[in-house]
Amino acid sequence: MKKTTKIILALIIGSVFIGCYYDKSDVINPNAAFVGCDTTSVSYASTIAPILSNNGCNVCHAGSAAAGGGIELDTYTTLKAEGVKGDLLPAVRQDPSCASCASNYQPMPLSGTKLSDCNINKISAWINQGFKQ
């Protein structure tokens, strides 16, 4: 085999290996961020209520405490109503450009840390799966 042929062959093989390398795992596997985030069996009682309780949502949005914001999230019925209206997910995503939300809309939790991507994904799955109780 000629020296030129070996060089060309080496370049081709090298190009193939370099071309196959891609370090953007989020593009290759967009669900990589949710590995370990089970959204297959999401219900209000076992998943959503604990998320809201553990993240302090019920401090302002439960029973008489909800009077200030006017949105009660501590029961299945009231939370489902917010989900049906379309205001729940933009609020927990902290999306300030919510088109369907009221004019006084503020991302939640108010002055708090945004919910984790996994918890937001679980709330989204709960809504998309029909608000399982």
Q: Is 122 part of a structural domain of the chain?
A: yes
What mean pLDDT is predicted for residues 78-82?
Answer: 89
7 falls within a domain:
no
Determine the Cα–Cα distance for residues 88 and 50; give it in Å rounded to an integer: 16
Residue 19 has pLDDT above 50, yes or no: yes
16 within some domain: no
- At 110, the amino acid letter reads L
Let me know if residue 10 belongs to a domain: no
Length of the chain: 133
Nearest to 60 by CA among 109, 19, 100, 106: 109
Residue 2 in any domain: the answer is: no
Residue-range definition of the domain harbouring residue 70: 25-128
Query: What is the number of structural domains in the chain?
Result: 1
DSSP class of residue 60 equals H
Within-domain flag for 8: no
Is 17 domain-assigned?
no
Would you state the pLDDT for residue 131? 95
Report yes or no on 49 lying in a domain: yes
What's the predicted TM-score (pTM) here?
0.67
